[in-house]
């Protein structure tokens, strides 16, 4: 057994449920396996040690906390470059939890509170997000601390007391400072390119730009895009720009369906995420091929 203080990275793929439905078990299994191993190799090249792969996730140890955070910041774009184009490209994202502390390495595995917390933070993260604990935050230089958004104290399963957690949101938080440090200026510099999402339904039109924050679609009064239909939950779905990608997350009781123009397949989401691209439509509470379904048209403008 080996004891040490390490930075623990848990990275999990999101959207695999829709991928298995649209691509089939054999193809989806191969894509998920290839993607997780690609992420593992990327983290290893950045200085990490891959402990193990966990189905659609990977567990990696770093000596350097900053190197771990910086490597995590590139994973979403790496994944989008790796996944084949078309409907499969739309299905997968990555969410990450990072914590630092004493761990024990034994028989090809690792154990400790930092391992458990990193796994829980990954569970709590949304697609394209990295959540870090206080020990990792303490290792960050000041410019990167500015780029961290405090979530205050949140309850983590297995912890007796709520713990302080920060979200590193590469698209929305301290964009210019962070991009300059990590080489992401081309991604978020509005003077060089235009990124936006257009949403339309029955005369309603809305544009969502990076930096606008998340948009809630639902039947409730607090929804940014309101749909008056009983099949639509009060807080049905969230759309947001994260890591240069437009991500749709379903929170509903009846589900959300996404159909991309030119693709016969429909991606079904139930408490899952999907990256929007190109042109398509979203069915809320019923599939888009149901002519009575409350349906949104969308267009992702990407002129990078």
Domain boundaries, the chain: 2-186, 195-302
What pLDDT, on a 0 to 100 scale, did the predictor assign at position 116? 94
- Express each pLDDT in 99-155 by its tens digit: 999 999 998 899 999 999 999 999 988 888 899 999 999 988 877 777 788 877 777
User: Does residue 269 contact residue 217 with C-beta atoms inside 8 Å?
Assistant: no
The pLDDT assigned to 167 comes to 87
pLDDT at 189: 44
The mean pLDDT values, 10 residues at a time, for the chain of 304 residues are: 93 81 78 88 92 92 92 80 51 88 92 94 87 91 77 77 80 41 41 77 92 89 90 93 84 92 85 88 90 94 76
- CATH of 2-186 given 3.30.310.10, 3.40.50.1260, 3.30.70.1230, 3.50.50.60: 3.30.70.1230
pLDDT attached to residue 81: 59
Q: Considering only CA atoms, which of 223, 246, 245 is closest in space to residue 237?
A: 223
- pLDDT number for residue 193: 53
Answer whether 0.85 is exceeded by the pTM. Answer: no
pLDDT at 100: 95
- 3-class state of residue 9 by DSSP: strand
Distance from C-alpha of 282 to C-alpha of 290, rounded to nearest angstrom = 12
Decide: 119 and 131 in contact? Cβ < 8 Å: no
Under 8 Å between Cβ of 294 and 285: yes
Q: How many CB atoms lie within 10 A of CB 178?
A: 22
Q: Check residue 50 and give its pLDDT.
A: 95
pLDDT at 160: 75
Architecture of domain 195-302: Sandwich (2.60)
List, as one string, the DSSP characters of 34-61: HHHHHHHHHHHHTT-EEEEE-SSEEEEE
């Amino acid at each position: 057994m080996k004891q040490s203080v390490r930075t623990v990275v848990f990275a999990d793929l999101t959207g695999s449920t829709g991928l298995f439905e649209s691509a089939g078990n054999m193809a989806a299994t191969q894509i998920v396996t290839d993607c997780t191993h690609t992420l593992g190799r990327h983290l290893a090249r950045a200085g990490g040690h891959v402990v193990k792969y966990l189905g659609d996730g990977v567990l990696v140890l770093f000596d350097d906390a900053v190197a771990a955070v910086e490597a995590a910041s590139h994973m979403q774009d790496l994944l989008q470059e790796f996944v084949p184009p078309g409907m499969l490209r739309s299905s997968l994202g990555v969410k990450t939890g990072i914590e630092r502390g004493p761990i024990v390495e034994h028989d090809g595995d690792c154990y400790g509170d930092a391992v458990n917390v990193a796994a829980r933070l990954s569970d709590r993260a949304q697609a394209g997000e990295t959540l870090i604990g206080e020990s990792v935050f303490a290792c960050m230089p000041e410019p990167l601390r500015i780029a961290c958004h405090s979530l205050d104290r949140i309850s983590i399963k297995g912890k007796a007391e709520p713990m302080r957690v920060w979200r590193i949101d590469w698209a929305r938080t301290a964009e210019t400072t962070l991009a300059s440090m990590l080489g992401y200026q081309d991604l978020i510099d509005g003077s060089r390119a235009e990124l936006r999402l257009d949403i339309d339904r029955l005369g309603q039109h809305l544009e969502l730009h990076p930096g606008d924050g998340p948009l809630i679609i639902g039947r409730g009064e607090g929804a940014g895009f309101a749909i008056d239909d009983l099949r639509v939950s009060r807080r049905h779905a969230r759309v947001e720009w994260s890591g240069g990608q437009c991500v749709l997350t379903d929170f509903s009781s009846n589900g959300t369906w996404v159909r991309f123009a030119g693709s016969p397949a429909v991606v079904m989401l139930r408490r899952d995420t999907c990256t929007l691209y190109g042109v398509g439509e979203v069915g809320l509470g019923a599939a888009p091929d149901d002519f009575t379904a409350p349906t949104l048209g969308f267009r992702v403008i990407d002129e990078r």
